[in-house]
Amino acid sequence: MTDIAPGDHEHLRACLPHWQSKKIVAADKIVDIDVAGIPFDGHIVITTENGTRLKQLGSWYVKHEPNVGGYFVLYKDGYASYSPAEPFEEGNVAIPKE
């Protein structure tokens, strides 16, 4: 058993098995986040680079802490997430729509 201190990511990476993702996700870069609706209806509005505007619950915003420039990510099972730009762009390649 190996004990690893919080924040010791280099040691943690060395200890854990490595995996390569092969999931296909729907995602787009976030260009605007409007949090004005949280006090009224509990929602935020995210605008993506392709002009899509989508509502997400305020609790999603608190959990994922998205920032403009990162990516809104939707998995096949419907799970919505957020990824900062650098890791998303390093780990994913855009595929053309069919």
Does residue 41 form part of some domain? yes
- Return the H-helix or E-strand segment holding 9: helix 9-15
pLDDT (tens digit, 9 = 90+) per residue, 18-29? 777 788 899 999
Q: What DSSP letter does each residue of 52-93 carry, written as one string?
A: -EEEEEHHHHHHH---TTSEEEE-TTS-EEEE-HHHHHHH--
Name the residue with tokens 């995996």: 19
Would you say the pTM of this structure is higher than 0.85?
Answer: no
Q: Tell whether 10 is covered by a domain.
A: no
Q: Which domain holds residue 47?
A: 24-91
pLDDT at 97: 76
pLDDT at residue 1 in the model:
65
**Domains of the chain: total:** 1
Amino acid 10: pLDDT: 83
DSSP state of 37: T
- Inside any domain, residue 68: yes
- Contact status, residue 62 vs residue 82, Cβ threshold 8 Å: no
Any domain includes 18:
no
Encode pLDDT of 36-80 as tens digits: 888 888 899 999 999 999 999 999 999 999 999 999 999 999 999
Residue with tokens 């260009």: 31
